[in-house]
Chains A and B, each alone.
Chain A
Amino acid sequence: MILSYCVECGVELARNLGKCPLCGTPVLNPRQPAPDLSENPNPDVFEEAISHMDRGYARQLAVVAVLIPMLIVLGIDLIDGGGIWSPFVMGALGMLWCFFAVPLLFRPKKPYLYIAVDALALCGFLALVSALTDGFSWYLGVVMPLLVLTGLMTLMMLLVYRRIEMRRLHRAAILMLLMAALLMGMELILDLNASGKASLSWSVYAGIPMLVISLMLAGIEQNKALKEAIRKRLFI
């Protein structure tokens, strides 16, 4: 009969153990060089675990959670006098659902889809509002171009931030330039809608400092000694 004890804990160890389960010390018994696996009291088969969260069910639940207030609102509005304000609430609920339920339920690995869905949801909701109120003039002239521009630029910034390999300060510089471009685009859209003429004014004032900053950032990235000196003084 071979007995093995843990030299650290003083406990006797079952013969199938190669190390002490309490402290991890390997078993060194010259009479029994390797653990006796035939003594293993447990089977080798593993039972398969039940899969984790049931997403299908969660999706159904999320749909129901939005549909119920929608129906209630519609019902109240119809009783109250015929579907005047309920479309606004229902549209807003649908938009909020896109904002919160989509990322939670579908867990997009990359956020591009999520941003596109959000921009579309916002476009859709505002289109609904304009259809229900004064018509599409302000929507087509200002809102939609602004939303599309913002959505596209956000996607582009995200792409730069996540996908394209470059140094950190270069990346910051490019993001800054994209931001300046976004501001200029916004001003163009607003001007074209208000006066029919395209003239850049405030966005230039904002854009010039941004351009300067991005040039500075790019320059700092080039100059290693300068970068090191700044890092030395500014570390948190």
Chain B
Amino acid sequence: MPSWLRLDNAAKIYPAARTKNWMSIYRVSVTLKEDVDPALLQQALDNTLKRIPLFAYRLRRGLFWHYFDRQDKGPLVEPDARNILMPLNLTQNRDFLFRVRYHRKRISLEVFHALADGSGAVSFLMTLAAEYLFLHDGKRIPARLPILDTREKPREEEWEDSFPKYARDVTRPRGEDPAWRLRGTPEPHGLLRIVTGIMPTERLLSVARENKTTVTSLLAALMLQALMNRKKESRRGRDRPVKLSLPVNLRNIYPSKTLRNFSFYVNVPVRMDYGEYSLDDLIALVSHYMGIETMEPMLNARFSANVKAERNPLLRAAPLVIKNLALKAVFSVTGERYMTSTLTNMGRIAMPPEMEQRVERIDLVLGRARKTPLNCAVLSACGKTMVTFSITMRETDVERDFFTSLIRLGVPVLIESN
């Protein structure tokens, strides 16, 4: 493992976009069937960091770019708090870009997006949980992705920046229509409201099949519908499309094994001023639009534009201070301009049966966005699909609309909230 690393192509924006009160952060949690022992968890974390040393880096400033600097020791596990996903204090938190927290049966991993995307974080968390269970009762969980074998050595492909590796020279112009912006009454003290809907994966799958679509497209269509219903009550931005940002895991397209960022997004637009859309229309719209936009050439030409931008000699030669200011400005103007909200689906987390019987659930929670007051993360494991909204406004109509539509389609939903 090298003593220092360049930030990957997608990560470069995050340290610059970070402010005193905000950073792009998310959480994955695994809930076991018995209480977590902090001492064992600490030992499991130290072992996991030896297998995945990528997480043991800290962020440092170079003259021209930020870089990751290797650390030998890992952070300490800490008790969980009620207000989750507060920004990491990169100077006090012993400079790590993630933290591991525990509460009763739950182990949570909060990760700064510059370090890894959801896929890398799930891999780290599952490896950590498997190691914990091994230390707990001496039986090794068979290592199958996303679980890595802690007896093996780290592999170079796990920390490669896959964007430049797969990028080509031809790029696609980035022009897009600005999206209608969701607004609401802010929660006091910047509280992050978490509303989770838990539903049986099998039932959700069969409802998706009845509608001749996938779970992601079905949920995206329902989310678009909920956002559109909310837009009907708003007078602002009538002519702007409602756009839902759907992250795409590029590892499904390229044979990359990286644990760092390797995902992209597609913003699905719906023009409400053209007329009414039924749920079937929305499902068709989402699946056809995604069908085109997630083709390899279409995606490649888009992320190649970012790789090309990073290689621009003028940008590269600018000192970090200037670059930071420029990237900060770019992010605050365009960062969330082209989407109304995000719905990310991590899909089904596969586990060996030895592990599945020890795990109750796995959750994915997005941190607050800079401006967008509502985002949604979906993850399926242990036969349950968890749909988690992260909300910074008081209004509840979007998530209510979303969950009640699911119930009308015949999917039972159990609701939790913090």
Contacts and interface: CB of A to CB of B under 8 A. Distances in A.
Interface of A: 6, 9-14, 17, 20-24, 41-47, 49-54
Given A14-B415, A47-B82, 7 more contacts: A9-B400, A9-B403, A10-B404, A11-B403, A12-B415, A21-B415, A51-B20
Contacts of B189: 49
Interface string B120-152: 000000000000000000000000000000000
A11 B20 CA distance: 38
Contact of A50 (B82, B87, B412, B413): B87
Interface of B: 20-21, 31, 79-83, 86-87, 89, 103-104, 106, 189-190, 193, 195, 197, 396, 399-400, 403-404, 407, 412-418
Contacts of B418: 42
Contacts of B103: 41-43
A54 B413 contact: no
6 contacts: A9-B404, A9-B407, A9-B415, A12-B414, A14-B416, A42-B418
A21 B82 contact: no
B195 to A, nearest CB: 5
> Which of A12, A24, A46, A49 has the largest count of B CB atoms less than 10 A from its CB?
A12
Contacts of B195: 21-22
A166 B195 CA distance: 51
B396 A24 contact: yes
B82 A45 contact: yes
A47 B110 CA distance: 14
Contacts, number: 86
Could you tell me the dominant secondary structure of chain A's interface residues?
Answer: loop
A21 B396 contact: yes
Contact of B400 (A12, A22, A41, A52): A22
A24 B193 CA distance: 14
B83 A46 contact: yes
A148 B415 CA distance: 67
A41 B399 CA distance: 21
A45 B81 CA distance: 5
Nearest to A51: B20
A41 B87 contact: no
B415 A20 contact: yes
> Which of B20, B104, B414, B415 has the largest count of A CB atoms less than 10 A from its CB?
B415
A17 B190 CA distance: 22
Nearest to A24: B396
Q: Which 3 residue pairs of A and B lie closest in terms of their CB atoms, listed nearest first?
A: A21-B417, A47-B81, A22-B400
B379 to A, nearest CB: 16
B20 A50 contact: yes
A43 B81 contact: yes
A49 B21 contact: yes
B21 A52 contact: yes
B414 A50 contact: no
A22 B415 CA distance: 9
A60 to B, nearest CB: 14
A23 B20 contact: no
A23 B87 contact: no
Contacts of B87: 50
> Which of A14, A24, A41 has the largest count of B CB atoms less than 10 A from its CB?
A41
Given A12-B414, A17-B415, A21-B396, A54 B20 contact: yes
Contacts of A52: 20-21
Contact of A11 (B79, B193, B413): B413
Contacts of B106: 41
A46 B416 CA distance: 19
